[in-house]
Amino acid sequence: MSNVVIEAQHISKRYRLGPTGTGSIRQDVQRWWRGNADPFFRERTDPGTLWALKDIDFTMQRGDIWGIVGDNGAGKSTLLKIISRIIQPTTGRVRGRGTVGSLLEVGTGFHPELSGRENIFISGYLLGMNKARVKEKFDEIVAFSGIEQFIDTPVKRYSSGMYVRLAFSVAAHLEPDILIMDEVLAVGDTSFQKKCLDKMKELSGDGQRTILFVSHNMQAVHHLCKQAMWLQRGQMVTIGSATEVVNRYVGSLQQHKLRQQWDDPALAPGNEFVRIMSFELIPELVEGAVSIDVRTSLTVKFSIRNEVAGALLNAGLHLYNYAGECIFDVASPATACAGGLVQGECKIPAHFLNDGAYYFSLIIVRDTSIPVYYHEGGIHFEVADYRENTNWYGKWKGAVRPQFPFSFGSV
């Protein structure tokens, strides 16, 4: 007996752009008529096609946990829908062994007018549970959701949190051979996300269940999945171990502008007092990492040309996040500078910045009080997340993420 549970061969999905497919009979007849009468017309009016997926091949073994990463519109959801047999591929085929449960939304089949009890049954059946199983798990589902008192109340009266909890409880008690999840982690509060991830870990524990899951949460993919694939504009970029794929994907996402340099002072930004000649960020990547993450120490180097010999200058570095908040403002000591090149260097230790996107601005100040030149947004970079020894995968709070000495233990 082979251990392959899903085998996808050359899956492609083409969507027609424009009004084709749905519309009026008149349009269809017109299109048909002109298409037959004038072969050139067809080409001219065809608004084009979009390959949502192109030639995807993979096989999944029993017990595998796969993550699918990629930008919006990369074809991730389309792929999940094809594997779930909701839509058909344009070419190729997917074959599988065992039951498939797809969680493409929270609360599949829920009806607002019906009670929680009714909805548990409908949703359970829709997701592929049989009657015996829903009955057997009913109490567990209700207990897990924590809404016992409201089980006979129509779900339209639920708070959105209660609704999500009930919906997820149903989904969590599905036990298909192959579980397909789309971005379920993106909804709900962080404690719900945590519960969801824990449940996934639990489900995958016995090594019998195969899980395929799409997420934008790289931490979750990295920690839960063994394998991953990266889709971009419908094509497979890489497929392989989750760590490698996530690293490459995150690396490609970082819109680095780590270095600025001007050779000709006349073209360099600045004014009659100073010119910015170079401004750069040098990350010291930890071993094995391919991108800046929270463990990376960063060095900012810059050089300016001082046009006023003997001026008392100092430099300031402002770090902003993309919400426009200033994370810190550090200043160098002031020095009387000779005319010509002046260099500066500032080191930001590892384990200080939280994950996120940032930019540095450089300010030059004269006589410790008069701003001479403000060079804004010279360096852009992103800090990726990295975690060890934790089961927490939600967003890490705080503007910074320092590691202070912290002792903890029973006395």
Partner 1 sequence: MAVEAGTNEHWDWEANSTTKWVSLSFRSLWDYRHLLARLVRREFLINYQQTILGPLWVVLQPALTLLVYVLVFGKWMGVNTGTAPPVLFFLCGILLWGLCNDLFTGTAFIFTYYSYLYSKVYFPRLIIPFSIAGTHLARFAIQGVLLLAVFMYFGLFRQYSFGLNYWVLFLPVAILLTAAFALSLGLIFSILTARYRDLSNIVHLGIRLFMFVTPVIYPLSLVPDSIRWLVQINPLSSLFEVFRYALLGQGQFTTSGLWYSATCIVILFVFALAWFNKQAARLIDVV
Question: Residue 46 or 307: which CB sits closer to partner 1?
Answer: 46
Question: Which one, of 226, 225, 219, lies nearest residue 393 by Cα?
Answer: 219
Pairing of strands 335-336, 312-321: antiparallel
Contact range with partner 1 by CB under 8 A, out of 124-132, 323-331, 369-377, 403-411: 124-132
Question: Residue 116 or 344: which CB sits closer to partner 1?
Answer: 116
Task: Give the Cβ contact number of residue 282 at 10 Å.
Answer: 13
Sorted by sequence, the CB contacts under 8 Å of residue 215 that are 6+ apart come out as 67, 68, 69, 183, 185, 186, 221
**In degrees, to the nearest 5, what angle opens at C-alpha 406 toward C-alphas 404 and 407?**
160
**What CA–CA distance (Å, rounded) separates 290 from 157?**
49
Of 200-259, binders to partner 1 (CB under 8 A) are none
Under rule CB under 8 A, how many of the chain's residues touch partner 1? 50
**What CA–CA distance (Å, rounded) separates 214 from 54?**
18
Token pair 């995807």 is at which residue? 56
Grouping H, G, I as helix, E, B as strand and the rest as coil, residue 196 is helix
Contact range with partner 1 by CB under 8 A, out of 113-121, 216-224, 228-236, 282-290: 113-121
Contact flag: residue 157 with partner 1 (CB under 8 A): no
Question: Residue 129 or 246: which CB sits closer to partner 1?
Answer: 129
Site string for partner 1, 41-60 (x = CB under 8 A): ------------------x-
Contact 57, 10 (CB under 8 A): yes
Question: Residue 174 or 319: which CB sits closer to partner 1?
Answer: 174
Question: Which one, of 173, 184, 177, 169, lies nearest residue 206 by Cα?
Answer: 177
Question: Which one, of 204, 214, 211, 134, lies nearest residue 169 by Cα?
Answer: 134
**What CA–CA distance (Å, rounded) separates 258 from 378?**
8
| Least Cβ distance, residue 94 to partner 1 (angstroms) | 5
| Least Cβ distance, residue 287 to partner 1 (angstroms) | 34
| Least Cβ distance, residue 123 to partner 1 (angstroms) | 9
Contact range with partner 1 by CB under 8 A, out of 38-46, 86-94, 167-175, 190-198: 86-94
Position among 53, 68, 83, 383 found at the interface with partner 1 (CB under 8 A): 83
Question: Residue 98 or 310: which CB sits closer to partner 1?
Answer: 98
Instruction: Report DSSP state, residue 233.
Output: T
Contact range with partner 1 by CB under 8 A, out of 79-87, 183-191, 239-247, 296-304: 79-87
Contact flag: residue 153 with partner 1 (CB under 8 A): no
Question: Which one, of 177, 191, 229, 192, lies nearest residue 61 by Cα?
Answer: 177
Question: Residue 170 or 365: which CB sits closer to partner 1?
Answer: 170
**Site residues for partner 1 per CB under 8 A:** 2, 4, 7, 9, 15, 21-25, 28, 59, 81-100, 102, 104-105, 108-109, 111, 113-114, 118, 121-122, 125-128, 130-131, 154
